[in-house]
A and B are shown apart, each in its own frame.
Chain A
Amino acid sequence: ETGVTQTPRHLVMGMTNKKSLKCEQHLGHNAMYWYKQSAKKPLELMFVYSLEERVENNSVPSRFSPECPNSSHLFLHLHTLQPEDSALYLCASSQDLPGTYTEAFFGQGTRLTVV
């Protein structure tokens, strides 16, 4: 138990569906992240939020839309996804943005399958 909780754990969705992934942390951390984990590829950083403001958007397609309503919650809204978007989506948080020593705490991930 790392203190970062993701729901749902598994999600199967059609290409025309709209769904949302949820991440919650009560560690008092200021930074939150979405990563995509695909087999045999580096962990792909998607979005970074610091104090509820987006600080990074690494050329992620617009069919992925993040939302950070407060410092404890992070969402990833999904719509009109493609089969190649099937992956494990990991949420993480850290006390502050990386710049010096930073430990990232990860959730267990949401296994997304797009059919």
Chain B
Amino acid sequence: GEDVEQSLFLSVREGDSSVINCTYTDSSSTYLYWYKQEPGAGLQLLTYIFSNMDMKQDQRLTVLLNKKDKHLSLRIADTQTGDSAIYFCAENEGNDMRFGAGTRLTVKP
């Protein structure tokens, strides 16, 4: 398909790791992004990865990129209740920034 695809829901317990997966469409995308949307707010850039990298780590966040399968994942270590939000995967495609439907992460105490 032509959409950036993500599963819609993920529920984890506080302290566990969360893994959010995404399949993107454009093999020529130079950057891939993760955005976070908290309730009542717009999207904010969380992290990104350059397409010639396989992995990027930023504190509790680890981004993994598999270019062959066009698969991107976001791992959040030691997930906290404040991490509850919707997480969007995005790619740049020409003049467009294309987003998935978002994965709603719920963190249970």
Contacts and interface: CB of A to CB of B under 8 A. Distances in A.
A108 B41 contact: yes
Nearest to A99: B92
Interface residues on B, range: 20 to 34
Interface string B18-54: 0000000000001100010000111111001010000
Give 6 closest A-B pairs by Cβ, nearest first. Answer: A106-B42, A98-B92, A43-B99, A106-B43, A42-B101, A98-B97
Contacts, number: 75
23 contacts: A2-B44, A41-B101, A42-B3, A42-B101, A43-B99, A45-B97, A48-B96, A50-B95, A92-B43, A92-B97, A97-B95, A98-B92, A98-B94, A98-B95, A98-B97, A99-B30, A99-B94, A101-B30, A101-B31, A101-B50, A103-B45, A103-B48, A108-B40
Interface in B71-109: 88, 90, 92-102
Interface string A37-63: 000111101001010000110100000
B10 interface: no
Contact of A43 (B48, B94, B101): B101
Interface residues of A, number: 29
B55 interface: no
B41 to A, nearest CB: 6
Contacts of B40: 108
Given A40-B8, A99-B92, A101-B31, A108 B42 contact: yes
Chain A interface mostly:
loop
B82 to A, nearest CB: 18
Interface of A: 2, 4, 33, 35, 40-43, 45, 48, 50, 55-56, 58, 90, 92, 94, 97-104, 106-109
A100 B101 contact: no
Contacts of A109: 42
A104 B102 contact: no
